[in-house]
Amino acid sequence: MLPEQADILWTYMTLAYTLFAFYVFGNVVQHCRENERVNGKLWGGIFGVFAVISFFETVHMFDLVQGEQITFMFQYQVLTVLAILLTWGIFFKSQDIQNQSPPIIRAFFFWSTVSICLAGYTNWLPQQRSDPPPKAAAVSEDLTMEEFVEMGRVIVFGAKQVAGQKSIGKGQCPLCHTFDPGDHIGRCPNLFGVQERSEKKKDEERYQTHPMKIGDPEPATGIVKGTPDQVPEEYRRAGSPDFIGEDYLRESLMCPTCYVVKGYGNDGDTKSPMPVISKPPISLSPVELNAVIAWLQSKDTPGEFANVTVPLPTAGSTAEEAPAEDEERPVFVTGNEPIQDMINTLGCPLCHTIPGVEGAMGALGPVLHEKTNAPARMKDPNYKGSAKNTKEYVKESILNPSAFVVFNEEAGEAYPDGLMPTTFSEMLSVQALDKLVDFISQTEAPPEG
Ligand code: HEC
Ligand code: HEC
């Protein structure tokens, strides 16, 4: 079943339950009117309360994501309906109105049971989005700078921006960065004004010497700091070998550790926690990387492209690159993927070092050694979450990261709250979440030596 269909089923069931609760209320009131000896206030009150509870449950249901809906449905709504049915039966019998519950009760009971079984069964099946295949976005001859910048914006934020939700595209930048003045999530610089800053970099003393000197190669990426003519050929800028603002931006993306913004690095600002954007898992192609730079250079002056120095791509050079091919597709994992692919798709390695996951060296969040971390967290006097065992703790951390904000012993302060995305429940099928939780619960420090 598709998530959309599941949503429709839940919506239908939750509305049906509330309508039913109100119907029962009306029916009871009517019986009370017809039978003088029945205490109308008492029974009307009881069923009125049920109707109101059902109503609020339905309202609440609409605020939940699909993964939580099923739990809520079984834990609360179904119980409410069963309680209504039971009380309704008692009402009829005890007041001698009818000696057997009316057919509608039995019919409704049957209908609920069948639909619950059906829903449980379909939810248990792996879910998969059936989105249309990605459009091949070809770069045409007459691409304008405005369109190129828009391509960059889509790589950063994705094609579908949903109001009130943080939207994140293939480039993953908003996972860490903010872009509007005054907007901060901690640990990653706000990129407002980055174009202006980039122009002045080469004259800054800190840039020239920190954490390595201009002309030194950075070991992890092989990029030679501050020398645009040594950039790997596909990504290299044509023209003069002088270091310009564009080169700083390109270097920030391809070699984050070549220069670390003050206060935002690890190990005394000598290592950047930012992923290399031209390498997996993000892997932007040269054209995509340039589109992002064009966007960075013009985003603070909407509609004005005078500051953009990257050239427009030529149709020939990009024929087989199909830039930004899949930004339309919402990220969704079914649980059928190998665990390593699942974790890469979700982006956990951008922030976490995870034993057993190749290349997961992220440094913005705690190292995931949950086999030992989780029990320790739950014993912490500040722990206010509701997990009772390691798996529950891991699940809680993934679905609701703010339930407990981990303290960073090395830095002597808490990890930033609100940095880890809260949207994973929308990206995971029930099966995928279980698989992820199983895996993360087993992670532990590799044996010494
Ligand atoms: C996992 C978190 C993370 C992601 C994802 C990320 N960054 Fe960063 N970025 C950082 C951190 C941390 C720094 C500061 C350390 C440094 O200078 O490398 C930084 C620094 C930068 C800088 C230098 C800022 C300055 O003021 O000089 C630029 C430019 C930048 N990022 C752009 C991007 C873009 C564009 C993307 C998306 C394609 C992106 N980043 C994705 C974490 C991230
Ligand atoms: C943008 C960065 C970011 C991403 C992406 C991210 N996390 Fe986190 N995560 C954090 C930060 C920061 C913390 C610590 C703050 C907190 O506890 O809320 C954290 C905490 C956790 C914890 C608790 C760790 C402990 O030792 O108590 C777990 C488990 C976890 N993340 C798992 C995941 C998984 C699994 C994914 C991918 C599905 C993921 N995270 C993606 C930043 C991130």
173 shares its domain with 111: no
Mean pLDDT estimate for the chain: 83
Lowest-confidence segment of 67-76, 368-377, 382-391 by average pLDDT: 67-76
Q: Which of 6-20, 46-60, 110-124 has the highest mean pLDDT?
A: 46-60
- Of the spans 76-80, 115-119, 334-338, 394-398, which averages the highest pLDDT? 394-398
Which of 73, 91, 124 represents a domain boundary (last residue)? Answer: 124
Residue pair 142/160 in contact (Cβ under 8 Å)? The answer is: no
Residue where a domain terminates, one of 256, 285, 318: 318
Residue 126: predicted pLDDT: 47
At 397, give phi and psi (nearest 5°): -60, -35
Instruction: Give 402 Cα–ligand 2 centroid separation in angstroms.
Output: 10
Q: Whose CA is nearest to atom 11 of ligand 2?
A: 365
Q: What is residue 139's predicted lDDT score, i.e. its pLDDT?
A: 58
Mark whether 236 and 280 lie in a shared domain: yes
pLDDT digits (tens, 9 = 90+) for 182-238: 777 667 899 999 999 999 998 999 999 989 999 999 998 999 999 999 999 999 998
Residue 172 has pLDDT above 90, yes or no: no
268-325 pLDDT tens trace: 888 898 999 998 778 899 999 999 999 999 999 988 999 999 988 876 554 344 444 4
Beta partners for 266?
271
Answer whether 339's CB lies under 8 Å from 349's CB.
no
Q: Are residues 114 and 43 in the same domain?
A: yes
Q: What is the pLDDT of residue 169?
A: 82
Highest mean pLDDT among 408-412, 420-424, 437-441: 437-441
**In-domain check, residue 427:** yes
Task: Tell me the range of 137-141, 344-348, 419-423, 438-442 where mean pLDDT is highest.
Answer: 438-442
Note whether 302 and 165 are same-domain residues: yes
The verdict on the CB of residue 19 being under 6 Å from ligand 2 is no
Give SS3 for 249: helix
- Is it the case that residue 156 has pLDDT exceeding 80? yes
Q: Are strands 413-414 and 407-408 parallel, antiparallel or unpaired?
A: antiparallel
Mean pLDDT value of segment 46-74? 82
- Whether 447 is covered by a domain: the verdict is no
- Residues shown for the chain: 449
Is position 350 within any domain?
A: yes
- The residue nearest atom 43 of ligand 1, judged by CA position, is 274
- Residues 110, 246, single domain; the answer is no
Given this model, what pLDDT does residue 109 score? 73
Which of 288, 318, 348 is where one domain is finished?
318
367 in ligand 2 pocket by Cβ < 6 Å? Answer: no
Residues with CB under 6 A from ligand 1: 171-173, 175-177, 187-189, 191, 194, 197, 249, 252-253, 256, 260-261, 264-265, 272-275, 277, 292, 296, 350-351, 364
Q: How confident is the model at residue 166 (pLDDT cuts 50, 70, 90)?
A: low
In the block, tokens 């619960």 appear at: 441
Q: Are residues 265 and 352 in the same domain?
A: no
Residue 77: domain span: 3-124
Ligand 1: residue whose CA is nearest its atom 34: 173
Task: Tell how far the Cα of 348 is from the centroid of ligand 1, in angstroms.
Answer: 16
Asked if the structure places residue 323 within a domain, the reply is no
| Rounded distance from Cα 230 to ligand 2 centre (Å) | 36
- pLDDT tier at 406 (50, 70, 90 boundaries)? very high
Indicate if 33 and 118 belong to the same structural domain.
yes
Convert the pLDDT of each residue in 61-119 to its tens digit. Answer: 877 766 677 778 777 888 888 888 888 888 887 777 766 666 777 777 777 777 777 76
Are 155 and 263 part of one and the same domain? yes
The answer to whether position 137 is within a domain reads: no
Nearest atom within ligand 2 for CA of residue 347 = 5
Instruction: Looking at the structure, tell me whether residues 187 and 217 fall in a common domain.
Output: yes
Domain assignment present for residue 330? The answer is no
Domain count, the chain: 3
Residue 132 lies in a domain: no
The verdict on 288 and 344 lying in the same domain is no
Among 109-113, 342-346, 392-396, 430-434, the range scoring the smallest mean pLDDT is 109-113
pLDDT at residue 378 in the model:
95
Q: Which residues in 350-372 are b (16+ Cβ under 10 Å) and which e?
A: bbbbbeebeebbbbbbbbbbbbe
pLDDT at 65: 65
Instruction: Confirm if 391 and 375 have CB atoms less than 8 A apart.
Output: no
Query: Between 430-441 and 390-399, two packed helices, what is the crossing angle to 10 degrees?
Result: 120
Same structural domain for residues 188 and 307? yes
With respect to residue 448, please indicate whether it lies within any of the assigned structural domains: no
Which has more pLDDT, 203 or 134? 203
User: In this structure, are 107 and 169 located in the same domain?
Assistant: no
